[in-house]
Amino acid sequence: MDKFIIKGGVKLSGELNASGSKNSVLPIMVATLLTTGRSVIKNVPDVDDVKHMIKVLEYLGAKVTFKRNTLLIDVPSKVGYVAPYDFVRKMRASYYVMGSLIGRKGKVDASLPGGCAIGERPIDLHLKGFKELGCDIKLEKGYVKARCKKLKGKEMFLEGSKGTSVGATINVMMAAVKAEGKTIIKGAAVEPEVSDVARFLNSMGAKITGIDSPVLTIDGVEKLFPAEYSVIPDRIEAGTLLVSAAITGGELLLKKCNPGHMDAVLNKLKEIGFKLSIGENEIYIKSSRILKPVNIDVLPYPFFPTDMQAQFVSLLSLVDGISIVSENIFEKRFMHVPELLRMGANITIDSNKAIIKGVKKLLGAPVMASDLRASAALVLAALAAEGESEIKRIYHIDRGYESIEKKLRKLGAKIKRVEE
Ligand code: EPZ
d(C-alpha 307, C-alpha 106), whole Å: 33
Q: Using alpha carbons only, how large is the chain's radius of gyration in Å?
A: 21
Given the CA of residue 301, which atom of ligand 1 is nearest to it?
12
Contact 196, 189 (CB under 8 A): no
| Residue-wise pLDDT tens digits, 346-381 | 999 999 999 999 999 999 999 998 899 999 999 999
165 CA from centroid of ligand 1 (Å): 6
Architecture of domain 2-16+292-419 in this structure:
Alpha-beta prism (3.65)
Residue 399 C-alpha to ligand 1 middle, in angstroms?
16
Closest ligand 1 atom, residue 330 Cα: 34
Q: Binding site annotation covers 49? A: no
Atom of ligand 1 nearest to the CA of 127: 40
Scored b (16 or more CB within 10 A) or e, 169-196 reads bbbbbbbbbbbeeebbbebbbbbbbbbb
Regions in the chain scoring below 50 on pLDDT: none
Predicted confidence at residue 118, as pLDDT, reads 80
CB within 8 A of 272, min separation 6: which ones? 246, 291, 292, 293, 294, 315, 316, 319
**Amino acid identity at 101:** L
Name residues contacting ligand 1 (CB within 6 A).
23, 26, 93, 121-126, 160, 162, 165-168, 189, 191, 193, 305-307, 329-330, 372-373, 400
Predicted local distance difference test score (pLDDT) of residue 121: 87
**How close is the Cα of 158 to the center of ligand 1, in Å?**
13
pLDDT at 114: 67
Residue 86 among known ligand-binding residues: no
| Spatial contact of 75 and 37, defined as CB atoms under 8 Å apart | yes
CA dist., res. 378 & res. 358, Å (int): 16
Q: 148-193, pLDDT tens digit by residue? A: 999 999 999 999 998 999 999 999 999 999 999 999 999 999 999 9
Q: If DSSP codes are grouped into helix, strand and coil, which group holds residue 49?
A: helix
Q: Give the pLDDT of residue 331.
A: 84
Dihedral (CA of 267, 273, 279, 283) sign:
negative
> Do 151 and 179 contact (CB within 8 A), yes or no?
yes
Residue ranges of domains in the chain = 2-16+292-419, 22-219
Catalytic pick from 116, 135, 148, 257? 116
Ligand 1 centroid to residue 31 C-alpha, Å: 18
324 is in an annotated binding site: no
Give SS3 for 275. strand
Contact 308, 330 (CB under 8 A): no
Å from CA of 273 to ligand 1 middle: 30
CATH superfamily of 22-219: Enolpyruvate transferase domain (3.65.10.10)
Give me the pLDDT at residue 117, please. Answer: 79
Q: What's this model's pTM, rounded to 2 decimal places?
A: 0.97
Give the model's pLDDT for residue 115: 65
- Closest listed residue to residue 382, CA positions, set 14, 16, 118, 4: 4
Check if 116 is active-site. Answer: yes
Q: Is 124 marked as binding a ligand?
A: yes
Query: What pLDDT score does 168 carry?
Result: 98
If one residue of 162, 237, 306, 332 were mutated to test the ligand 1 pocket, choosing by the most ligand atoms within 8 A of its CB, it would be 162
| Separation CA 332–CA 344 (nearest Å) | 21
